[in-house]
Structure 1
Amino acid sequence: MTTDRSTVPPPRPEKLLTDEDARAVAAGTCRDPFATLGPTADGTGVVVRIPGASAVEVVNDTDRVLLTEHPAAPGVFVGPVLPFYRLRITWPGIGYGEGSVEEREDPYRFGPVIGELDEYLIGEGRHRKLWTVLGAHLLTHEGVDGVHFAVWAPNATRVSVVGDHNGWDATAHPMRPRGATGVWELFLPGLADGAVYKYDILGPHGEQLPQKADPVGFGAEPAPATGSVVRQLGTHTWADGAWMADRADPDTPGINDASEPVSIFEVHLGSWRRHADGTSLSYRELAEKLVDYVADLGFTHIEVLPVSEYPFPGSWGYQPIGLYAPTNRYGTPGDFAAFVDAAHAKGLGVLADWVPGHFPTDAHGLGRFDGTALYEHLDPRRGFHPDWTTWIFNYGRPEVADYLSANALYWLEEYHLDGLRVDAVSSVVYRDYSRRAGDWVPNDDGGRENYEGIDFLRDTTTEVAATFPGTAMVAEESTTYPGVTAPVGPDAERSRVHGLGFDYKWNLGWMNDSLEYFGRDPLYRRYHHNQLTFGLTYAFTESFVLPISHDEVVHGKGSMYGRMPGTHDEKMANLKAFYGYMWGYPGKKLLFMGTEFGQVAEWNFAGELEWNCLDDAGHTGVQSVVRDLNLLYREQPALHRRDCDGRGFQWLVVDDNSGAEVYAWLRRGLPGDPHVVVVLNLTPVERTGYRVPFPVAGRWIEALNTDSEFYAGGNRGNTGAIQTEAVPVGTEAQSAMLTLPPLSAIFFVEDLTFVPDDPATTATPADPVTTATPADPVISLTDVSATPVEDTP
């Protein structure tokens, strides 16, 4: 039976709440709202704040009690409390109309959500699953569905959750402070996935700060709006269990292992391909079209430019605001997970660019988050980047380093990424990065190394390797900092300037020298011989990736096509030779989208690639060369097994003193693997009868020739195979007379099945070859290469 207690006289309001506290509640300035709002400490009364209500009752399944408006604070209602109560609110009508009635839960009747262990780890800066505690989480708390909000703002005097649910009223939902950790939390019943919110913060002196997006938010509004969006994690049903198990198996080399082929297709998701109306493809559309395209070209990995939420499209994602939110531009977190899953289903690893080096100064971002330099250094010589006009993280603060390290783990766990490419590592490890003398602060030893940044990177790579074995951490590091890919080692053995623990480092020295060399008129290349040879003096000091990235096709640098000298046909030949040189060179491979078919224009992030280039046979020829190079790279262990091991490379022709610009080298795998010899002719002159040393007697298959007709070349070559002769050249006892097409790269693979008629004898030197029939471009791949693919997804 329901008992109507609405006429029972309530306790006097001032006995439950003083006038001063009532006014603080009304103004939303309580330091600890749970000390005043909700059930009173003795359990006899309740205080609620409902501005504009004409009446408020507390009700449950059996009772209801009318509350009294506090005389000192309009909108603040007090009275007796009921167990498991809800609020029944009567809103005034308009004119002579009747008012409306609604029932809702009181957020201030619920207990805290964050446990003591989580609170302790956050305070220590050692919570490596930080995203499971902070941010906005859909959950059932004390039997009621809603969203739990938690944010770190240790110097704030009040933090409130604001959004559409409360009319963006900062006084409506102040949060509960959690002691010395600086964390604030609040459970809001009834909110659902898709709710938009921000944090409204008063600084250390009660000053009003700009409303902030959630540093650990999982979703964001479309720009130019800047709110965070409640998003449920884990909505995607993964189908990559076997992939994940194989990757982590310690007994077999995984997809990221230095002994495996690693060929990366770098892509900006928004400008790879667009709809007819100019809009970008969604994550789920990319899961079909982009994934199929990359798999068809034989790449092993997709690397996406940063997908963390960012406000400025022109930053391409390198100035992120929401490190924990996949950008909404292409869909939801579940959609991005589906993209990764689809790539795994096609045998492709997925890497993402990660930006822990700096963050933008947008008012809704991390800068001066609680009114103090919280995430950044207070001293601009350490906390502000003058070139990028961005804030720099304070790596020496444990909570900040934890925020970043946990973010790396978040992407690997929640989205099954196979690795992260870490942007601008040099800016993290050096205090004087891009600064003039006097504009930076030396470390405690008087040097330029940023010890705090170095420790942060080491801790992150160590955590990633331990938690997600088989994943890869790749460094974009533009200096000669030693030991980027060296192991970190035990704490007791750490040098302050060595061993960052990355798996790979971008070889920017190789990239710069190689592009300068190939960009020269072939007439003058002979005077810059060292630009192709110098890189081998350090090629094995780190585990390198050879990057032709987005940075090389923007800001007036031109496209890869535009960088090549000569006529259209010569540009095509140069570009194919360059890719042959790159795939034959030791190191893992990376190409940015559009370079695989020689796009003519620079990359434009606001449009799509120049797919019409593929109407030209020269461009489809370049695309086919890249496809077949990838296949050859996968098939031949000598081309990948010792990419990062000096035993896998040997010069054969490095300086013939003739100005011919012919280069040749040997690639070795493990014992039993067929050797591969790579020969380049980097002048526009055909070389016939050119003798090249070979390391092993026998028959060598002409496995790929960039001048093949299958690649729109001149179809000059060596009839598909050559046999060595006992004619010493240099230190090698065997050699062969070759035809070297102009501006070409040729791959010769040792034929282990060949048995000479008389092994005890060798053939006499053959006459120079003057003509050649078409050579198959790749062993067993003639049918693939004979019909260049012109269609794109």
Structure 2
Amino acid sequence: MNQNRVQRLQRAEDGDPFSFLGPHAQGDETLVRAWLPGADAVDLLSSDGSPLGRMHCSDPDGLFELPLPQAQRYCLRIHWPSGVQETEDPYAFGPLLGDTDLYLFAEGNHRQLWRCLGAAPVEHEGVAGVRFAVWAPNARRVSVVGNFNSWDGRRHPMRLRYPAGVWELFIPRLQPGECYKYEILGPHGVLPLRADPMAQATEMPPATASKVPQGEAFAWQDQQWMSEREQRHAPQAPLAIYELHAGSWQWQDDRTPDWDELAERLIPYVQDLGFTHIELMPIMEHPFGGSWGYQPLSMFAPTARLGSPQRFAAFVDRCHRAGIGVILDWVPGHFPNDAHGLAEFDGTALYEYAHPFEGFHPDWNTCIYNLGRTEVHGFMLASALYWLREYHVDGLRVDAVASMLYRDYSREAGQWIPNRHGGRENLEAIEFLQHLNEVVRSEVPGALVIAEESTAWPGVSRPVQQGGLGFSHKWNMGWMNDSLSYIQQDPLYRLHHHHQITFGLHYAFSERFILPISHDEVVHGKRSLLGRMPGDRWQQFANLRLFLALMWSHPGKKLLFMGCEFGQWREWNHDQQLDWYLLQYPEHAAAQALLRELNRLYREEPALHRLDDQDSGFQWLIGDDARNSVFAWLRKGGEGSAPLLVVHNFTPQVLDGYRIGVPHAGRWQVLLNTDERRWSGSGAGTQGELHSEQTAAHGQSDSLNLQLPPLGALILRPAH
């Protein structure tokens, strides 16, 4: 029997090492076996360090044995060719994971999965070391490998916890910071070394190993922010988001900054511009930088490119103490097929669907998570909760929701598999998204979960109890497409595209919308936001100012990608920092200053944010003047707040004597004129204060006689 087991250990095929290695009763004695290929000799020591005897090398391949008169705690003193090592025997310890953990994992509802799977420094049975646990139900054997065992899969085979399919092992005296992977013997042979799906830290790419995380908890100092967060995230509160790619926002000494350096520069900048939140493009570890993080493999590990997990926590803490929220882009729909990753993790389609019509994404050449499998459902649910709880993140923007909702997304006829009802909806993904939003709502009150959803799926931000998906907000992709298409038109032809501005207000209150001008709109030949604007240089900047005023005065929360705020000319490139030198030129500095002013008005004027998702907060005054390309509306903030009159002139002509009805007689004050000289405008258009006249217009008994600035916007408020 010994020879057969030794051969299996030598070939790294033994899937049940605890039944043979470690201490075992043998008659009146306890026989200790250790499998240490490559060792010259092994001494057995008592727990106090006194010698118990040299173990007998019963097989030259590396099996050492020694009988003890009675069961007792012991250590191994291993004589390697390179030196001597003292450690407890990993195979002398009992099971690690409790039955409740395994049950909840199998059920897909373990809310703190990162506390039982993955690697963690622990004290087990009175000994400090690292606990490893990984899900690989179809593996024949799983070993932990790393520098600590010369990446030798024979050295540390793991224990299988049946029926959960989780393999576990405690390696005593191992320290945080150790690199490791899993060597897996699948149904058809040994697989490439796998990174840990539950890793909380990783090597710096292009290296791909996982790292044992630090054991100590971060000392948070953001208690005030956390206590106020639910109120800050209420639907009636202002929400202005600055989206950025952390690695290319602003470099430090011609290199990507770390989290500390980014905080030093970014936080004052965002505070100065008046944004309420930042949104980071995915910072979960990803093998290919050119994916911008949207093909992540480590759903529990902040990228090592910017520093340690502790430094990321410190970054979030500093943002909160400065009054800035942090939203992360999060990708639960698909993952890349890199050899060290999740694809056929244990030799079978484990995390992904097995059939390519379900499990392969044709747009991105990636694998699609099988969210109908309870363990995968729970894995992704735990990932979301991990960022919200462990890093105090304020919200998740869920990427590519449309690709999750539809089984035929980007697929030709005959290349997709209908659901059990014969339809195109992905019922498993729908159930996951609803469960995710319900769990976040109950367990992390005040956290945002935002859908990047590009179709007309109904009820994305409607509560689950009312048949919706339960998101707190949805990106308004229709507004984004229509408004960008409109602003790109030569003003001469805008009269033929008038509906592209009016149409979005037919459905503006059907969801809780965020108006996004994101990174996707300034790459891949689409040109920068400023670069899309028609006309000469003056007109391009005027159109940019007008577009920003349109966005900030339109119902819906705001999101703007970095560089748009000061008018970067070139498209965004993740391998370069933004063109900050442009701020030396007056037009660029003025665009940035205008954005600062828009954010101030947005925050301070309840009419611009309080009733964003209610039609009672909006009233058309002029929506049919296509000939002049003029739009005018009222924004209302409800009881106790003044209404605002918003007027946009999308032609390069000054329009004199333009009469607009208003709901209040008396003095009106111009809060904003985007054509003022301080914004590098021409100085045209009404400014200061003016009095209404008792001339009925647009259903109102009084009206204002305005001069509309060219390619400009006015925002006015009653002066009393």
Q: Report the TM-score range of the alignment, normalised by the length of the smaller protein.
A: over 0.9
Q: Is 1:587 the counterpart of 2:556 in the alignment?
A: yes
CA-CA distance at 1:26 after TM superposition: 3.0
8 Å Cα contact 2:619-2:633 kept in structure 1: yes
8 Å Cα contact 1:725-1:736 kept in structure 2: yes
- Cα distance in 2, alignment partners of residues 125 and 730 from structure 1: 57
Q: Is 1:19 the counterpart of 2:3 in the alignment?
A: yes
Name the structure 2 match of 1:612: 581
Name the structure 1 match of 2:194: 212
- Cα distance in 2, alignment partners of residues 476 and 321 from structure 1: 20
1:64 to 38, 52, 69: 52
Name the structure 2 match of 1:229: 211
Name the structure 2 match of 1:54: 40
2:74 to 81, 85, 99: 85
CA-CA distance at 1:233 after TM superposition: 5.6
Q: Is 1:422 the counterpart of 2:405 in the alignment?
A: no
Amino acid at match of 1:681: N
2:269 to 281, 287, 293: 293
Name the structure 2 match of 1:571: 540
1:157 to 121, 140, 149: 140
2:126 to 143, 162, 173: 143
Q: Is 1:344 the counterpart of 2:320 in the alignment?
A: yes
TM-score of the superposed pair, with normalisation by structure 2 = 0.97
Amino acid at match of 2:175: A
- Cα distance in 2, alignment partners of residues 348 and 478 from structure 1: 27
CA-CA distance at 1:22 after TM superposition: 2.4
SS in 1 for 2:658: strand
Q: Is 1:28 the counterpart of 2:12 in the alignment?
A: yes
- Cα distance in 1, alignment partners of residues 64 and 8 from structure 2: 13
Amino acid at match of 1:209: L
Q: Is 1:472 the counterpart of 2:448 in the alignment?
A: yes
Name the structure 2 match of 1:244: 226
SS in 1 for 2:214: coil
More strand by share: 2
CA-CA distance at 1:210 after TM superposition: 1.2
Amino acid at match of 1:733: S
RMSD: 1.3
Q: Which moved more, 1:50-59 or 1:321-330?
A: 50-59
SS in 1 for 2:335: coil
- The residue correspondences of 1:381-530 to structure 2 (distance < 5 A) are 381-489=357-465, 498-530=467-499
Name the structure 2 match of 1:357: 333
SS in 2 for 1:180: coil
1:172 to 155, 178, 182: 155
Name the structure 2 match of 1:768: none
Name the structure 1 match of 2:695: 727
- Cα distance in 2, alignment partners of residues 304 and 102 from structure 1: 45
8 Å Cα contact 2:127-2:172 kept in structure 1: yes
Number of equivalenced pairs: 714
Amino acid at match of 1:24: R
1:708-731 Cα shifts (integer Å, max 9, x gaps): 122111122323122211101121
CA-CA distance at 1:64 after TM superposition: 2.0
**Do the aligned partners of residues 510 and 41 (structure 1) sit closer, same or farther apart at CA in structure 2, a change above 3 Å counting?**
farther
- The residue correspondences of 1:543-554 to structure 2 (distance < 5 A) are 543-554=512-523
CA-CA distance at 1:230 after TM superposition: 1.1
8 Å Cα contact 2:333-2:404 kept in structure 1: yes
8 Å Cα contact 1:162-1:173 kept in structure 2: yes
CA-CA distance at 1:70 after TM superposition: 1.5
- Cα distance in 1, alignment partners of residues 532 and 494 from structure 2: 14
8 Å Cα contact 1:22-1:70 kept in structure 2: no
1:656-685 Cα shifts (integer Å, max 9, x gaps): 35x111111000011120111111111111
Name the structure 1 match of 2:567: 598
1:441-464 Cα shifts (integer Å, max 9, x gaps): 111111111111100000001000
SS in 2 for 1:739: strand
8 Å Cα contact 2:43-2:51 kept in structure 1: no
Q: Is 1:185 the counterpart of 2:168 in the alignment?
A: yes
8 Å Cα contact 1:488-1:499 kept in structure 2: yes
8 Å Cα contact 1:26-1:49 kept in structure 2: no
Name the structure 1 match of 2:236: 259
- Cα distance in 1, alignment partners of residues 318 and 80 from structure 2: 51
Amino acid at match of 2:653: V
- Cα distance in 1, alignment partners of residues 704 and 80 from structure 2: 95
Amino acid at match of 2:630: V
- Cα distance in 1, alignment partners of residues 410 and 234 from structure 2: 33
SS in 2 for 1:70: strand
CA-CA distance at 1:235 after TM superposition: 3.6
Name the structure 2 match of 1:12: none
SS in 1 for 2:464: coil
- Cα distance in 1, alignment partners of residues 678 and 425 from structure 2: 52
Name the structure 2 match of 1:759: none
CA-CA distance at 1:27 after TM superposition: 2.9
Unaligned runs of 5+ in 1: 1-16, 93-98, 249-253, 755-793
Q: Is 1:102 the counterpart of 2:85 in the alignment?
A: yes
CA-CA distance at 1:548 after TM superposition: 0.2
CA-CA distance at 1:701 after TM superposition: 1.2
Amino acid at match of 1:154: P
Unaligned runs of 5+ in 2: none
1:510-559 Cα shifts (integer Å, max 9, x gaps): 00000010011111101110011000111111100000000000000000
**Do the aligned partners of residues 288 and 235 (structure 1) sit closer, same or farther apart at CA in structure 2, a change above 3 Å counting?**
farther
CA-CA distance at 1:105 after TM superposition: 2.1
8 Å Cα contact 1:233-1:333 kept in structure 2: no
CA-CA distance at 1:698 after TM superposition: 2.0
SS in 2 for 1:336: helix
Name the structure 2 match of 1:540: 509
**Do the aligned partners of residues 612 and 673 (structure 1) sit closer, same or farther apart at CA in structure 2, a change above 3 Å counting?**
same
